[in-house]
Amino acid sequence: MSISWLGLPAILAFMTSVPSSVALDNGVGRLPFMGWNTWNAYFCNINETLVLDSAKYLVSLGLADLGYEYVNIDDCYAERNRSSSGDILASAERFPSGMRKLTDQIHALGLKTGIYSDSGWFTCQLYPGSYQNEARDARLFQQEWGFDLLKFDNCAVPYDDIIREGMVGKFSRMADAISNLASETGDPPLLFSICEWGRLQPQLWARRYGQSWRMTDDIGANWASIASIINSISFHSWASDFYGHNDLDMLQIGNGNLNYEESKTHFTVWSFVKSPLLIGTDLSSVSEQSLSIFKNTEIIAINQDPVVGTGVVPFRWGINADYTFDPAHPAVFWSGESQNGTVFMLINSLDEPADLFFNLTESPWIRAGRQYAVRDLWTHTNNGTAVRSFNAKAVPPHGVVALLLQDAGDEPKGLLPKCAFYEWWSDTWCIDKNGTRVPS
């Protein structure tokens, strides 16, 4: 199903009317965080040995050296009930040594640690949530257990006559607890990863309270899920910047039936829109092919760019009319800035190979009258010079092209038409200095 939206003028008017929200610059989470999480590979089947071993694999496989530094425990680590004094208890069966010993061991590897809770009465798997215990739990997670990051979920919402506040208030309670604790102790605050699933436009408000916010329901290990998430984020990718990032959920590379091309597309999109990058597969049996994707330093460099905090955005939908909502066929042509040049991302959502052609000046970051050196970030090759346009030939089904274009000087003289500047609505409106309109 596809739904054609309002058209470009109305969309632009809407986007420019969106109220700005200042990012929470509290010293943590300037760039998208990277690491590993238990959920996609293990769900509730977790224990302290598995978590510590996974941390060791991040180091031994060379992933930690590339920035994968967080080892995050998701749901199901706790006992079903709080202690008599009101604290969450780590499962005596699955974490018998206690959380503090585990985090100390992980920190000794040079890594950081993350824990999970929920803004409601319970977690999504019906373990104790943090509602009305935010200050207590923030202190427990950071000061007693030693965690560095908190993923905060959205299940088990209290009844209206209890909570008497909206989604923003529900998540601001823990944000306030984290901030107050940092002020009291002088320690860096917990990195706060809001998991609201994109239900009430977190891209508009969540940056005030945390460093990332989930934009969709849980990811699946299949192409349909990946394509649907890409489609959803195409309307909101503008929202990521330093200290605040759209979260597209944990990576499924190495899981399910995703093939190599689909996995590359998955990793490229998550990286280029500046989503957190959390590996979600079993690192004890990870394939060399999956590792080659996780370890693509040229793709990671875009995600972790220290100069440009914004990600890529679509400049043309391609298969559909622009601004069409189509979970099977998201936007094809994307571009954005980086410290080293203009980034382009081309996605073939079809089930057959496709040529993907675009005019360079369709991207707002390209200068008319210039030529550009082309770097392919997956083949790691320099592919000549692009003048006015680029055509990616035979892009595989569900595949991606990731390019870095760098200014290579003036384009050759005498090219026709004299004006190739792209206008989406008509022929180009270029005019000679004497007032004569230049035909395209």
* Residue 208: CATH number of its domain: 3.20.20.70
Catalytic residue among 53, 187, 218, 427, which? 218
Considering the domain architecture, whether residues 366 and 265 belong to the same structural domain is answered as no
Query: When comparing pLDDT for 429 and 167, which is higher?
Result: 167
The pair of structure tokens assigned to 80 is: 């079903």
Of 248, 269, 304, the domain-final residue: 304
User: Are 227 and 181 members of one domain?
Assistant: yes
Has residue 184 been placed in a domain?
A: yes
- Whether the per-residue pLDDT at 427 is higher than 70: the answer is no
Kindly state whether residues 224 and 334 are assigned to the same domain.
no
Domain that holds residue 372: 313-410
Span of 5-9, 53-57, 74-78, 114-118 with lowest mean pLDDT: 5-9
CATH of the domain at 329: 2.60.40.1180
Indicate whether 375 pLDDT > 50. yes
Query: What pLDDT digit, counting tens, does each position of 209-263 carry?
Result: 999 999 999 999 999 999 999 999 999 999 999 999 999 999 999 999 999 999 9
Structure tokens at 382: 């320099």
CA–CA separation, 139 and 150 (whole Å): 12
148 is catalytic: no
Residue 270 shares a structural domain with residue 125: yes
Asked whether 176 and 138 are in contact (CB, 8 A), the reply is no
Same domain, yes or no: 294 and 322: no
If asked whether residues 390 and 265 sit together in one domain, one would say no
Residues in the chain: 440
Residues 322 and 216 in one domain: no
**Could you tell me the pLDDT band of residue 121, with boundaries at 50, 70 and 90?**
very high
pLDDT of amino acid 398 = 98
Which of 304, 333, 367 is the last residue in one of the domains? 304
Residue 187 — left, alpha, or beta (φ > 0 → left; ψ -120 to 50 → alpha)?
beta
**Residues 187, 90: one domain?**
yes
Is 218 a domain residue? yes
pLDDT band of residue 94 (cuts 50, 70, 90) is very high
Q: What is the mean pLDDT of residues 281-305?
A: 98
Residue 434 has pLDDT above 90, yes or no: no
Establish whether 218 is a catalytic residue: yes
pLDDT of 8 reads 42
Does residue 276 share a domain with residue 193?
A: yes
Confidence (pLDDT) at 273:
98
Task: Check residue 404 and give its pLDDT.
Answer: 99
Same domain for 323 and 242: no
Beta pairing partners, 78? 90
The reply to whether 353 falls in a domain is yes
Q: Which region, left, alpha or beta, applies to residue 141 given φ > 0 means left and ψ of -120 to 50 means alpha?
A: alpha
What phi and psi, each to the nearest 5 degrees, are found at residue 384? 75, -155
Q: Range with the lowest mean pLDDT among 158-172, 303-317, 324-338, 389-403? A: 158-172
156 pLDDT above the threshold of 50? yes
What average pLDDT score do residues 22-28 get? 85
Q: Nearest 5°: phi and psi at 338?
A: -150, 170
Of 264, 285, 304, the last residue of a domain is 304
Are residues 322 and 265 located together in one domain of the fold? Answer: no
Domain presence at residue 202: yes
Within a domain: 430: no
- At residue 135, the pLDDT reads 98
Same domain, 48 and 116: yes
Question: Which of 153, 247, 249, 305 does the annotation list as catalytic?
Answer: 153
Q: Is residue 131 part of a domain?
A: yes
**What whole-number distance in Å separates Cα of residue 314 and Cα of residue 325?**
13
Per-residue H/E/C for the chain: CCEECCCHHHHHHHHHHCCCCCCCCCCCCCCCCEEEECHHHHCCCCCHHHHHHHHHHHHHCCCHHHCCCEEECCCCCECCCCCCCCCCCECCCCCCCCHHHHHHHHHHCCCEEEEEEECCCECCCCCECCCCCHHHHHHHHHHHCCCCEEEEECCCCCCHHHHCCCHHHHHHHHHHHHHHHHHHHCCCCCEEEECCCCCCCHHHHHHHCCCEEECCCCCCCCHHHHHHHHHHHCCCHHHCECCEEEECCCCCCCCCCCCHHHHHHHHHHHHHCCCCEEECCCCCCCCHHHHHHHCCHHHHHHHCCCCCCCCCEEEECCCCCCCEECCCCCCCEEEEEECCEEEEEEECCCCCCEEEEEEHHHCCCCCCCEEEEEEECCCCEEEEEEECEEEEEEECCCCEEEEEEEEEEECCCCCCCCCCCCCCCCCCCCECCCCCECCC
Give a yes or no: residue 436 inside a domain: no
Task: Say which residues have a Cβ less than 8 Å from residue 382's Cβ, sequence separation at least 6.
Answer: 373, 374, 375, 376
Judge whether 280 lies within some domain. Answer: yes
The structural domain count of the chain equals 2
